[in-house]
């Protein structure tokens, strides 16, 4: 076991993929160290980090209380934290006693993992970062993101429903909301989704979640949109300076 006094080290960045892990750790009151990964320095492709996550992406954790066991991928980390650090089921459900809610949480977690994140990520790319505007790509991924939001809206419109799964805030919500919160960056406005807006308000009003959204740094979404051209250009320089001679992205 590492000599660190905190059980978890989190390797992350201020993105919709990174925030869920710091949010979960804060909600569970698990002590952790933070290592902010520098995309500008291509740190996620460093040899030492690839030993933690062979895919070279954030987030990742190392559990020092489990012989420095590494876990990568946002959803896998959330499931791991629920299994190993949530005995009171604050953010998760008992698979035996709360079977339906447990599987609902896994369903919606995977809905975000395989749907919202990838589709909105592509919308971000074509709308903000692509070196040339390709209307088909923009329309394709913005339309799919809106469709996925409509699924979330319908889910949250069910009578008495405040959360995506079961009767409480869970890893399914934590995985999903940072992407939805940043929808306008992908060109998808939230005005037509009142249930989603109310859900986001419930989530971001939670003190521990608010704290987690400050790790490693807090995103001011309104300011980001006001300065969108400059921010997108800076990101573009990082993204495309990381393309090697083989045409493969280093980011």
The yes-or-no verdict on residue 161 having pLDDT over 70 is yes
**Distance (Å, whole) CA 240 – CA 242:** 5
Would you state the pLDDT for residue 249? 54
The yes-or-no verdict on residue 243 having pLDDT over 60 is no
Would you state the pLDDT for residue 8? 98
The yes-or-no verdict on residue 251 having pLDDT over 80 is no
Per the prediction, the chain carries an average pLDDT of: 95
The yes-or-no verdict on residue 82 having pLDDT over 50 is yes
The yes-or-no verdict on residue 245 having pLDDT over 50 is no
The predicted model gives 207-234 an average pLDDT of 98
Would you state the pLDDT for residue 124? 98
Would you state the pLDDT for residue 242? 57
The predicted model gives 165-191 an average pLDDT of 98
Summarize the chain as % helix, strand, coil (round to 5): 55, 10, 35
The yes-or-no verdict on residue 47 having pLDDT over 90 is yes
Would you state the pLDDT for residue 247? 45
Q: Who contacts 17 (Cβ-Cβ below 8 Å, separation ≥6)?
A: 57, 58, 59, 74, 117, 178
**Distance (Å, whole) CA 183 – CA 189:** 6
Confidence band of 34 (pLDDT split at 50, 70, 90): very high
**DSSP β-ladder status, 60-63 and 69-72:** antiparallel
The predicted model gives 202-223 an average pLDDT of 98
The predicted model gives 119-132 an average pLDDT of 97
């Amino acid at each position: 076991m590492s000599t660190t006094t905190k059980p978890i080290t989190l390797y992350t960045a201020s993105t919709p993929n990174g925030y869920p892990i710091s949010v979960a750790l804060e909600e569970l009151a698990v002590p952790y160290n933070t290592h902010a990964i520098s995309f500008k320095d291509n740190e996620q492709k460093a040899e030492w980090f690839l030993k933690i996550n062979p895919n070279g992406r954030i987030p990742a954790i190392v559990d020092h209380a489990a012989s420095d066991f590494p876990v990568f991928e946002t959803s896998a980390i959330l499931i791991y934290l629920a299994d190993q650090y949530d005995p009171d089921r604050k953010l998760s459900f008992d698979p035996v006693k709360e079977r339906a809610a447990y599987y609902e949480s896994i369903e919606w977690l995977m809905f975000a993992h395989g749907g919202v994140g990838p589709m909105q990520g592509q919308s971000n790319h074509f709308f903000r970062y692509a070196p040339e505007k390709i209307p088909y790509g923009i329309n394709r991924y913005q339309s799919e993101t809106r469709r996925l939001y409509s699924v979330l809206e319908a889910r949250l419109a069910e009578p008495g429903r405040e959360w995506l799964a079961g009767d409480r805030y869970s890893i399914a919500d934590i995985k999903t909301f940072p992407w939805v919160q940043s929808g306008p960056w992908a060109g998808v406005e939230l005005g037509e989704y009142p249930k989603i807006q109310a859900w986001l308000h419930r989530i971001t009003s939670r003190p521990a979640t608010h704290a987690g959204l400050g790790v490693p740094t807090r995103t001011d979404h309104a300011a980001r949109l006001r300065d969108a051209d400059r921010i997108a250009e800076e990101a573009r320089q990082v993204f495309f300076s990381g393309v090697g001679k083989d045409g493969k992205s280093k980011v």
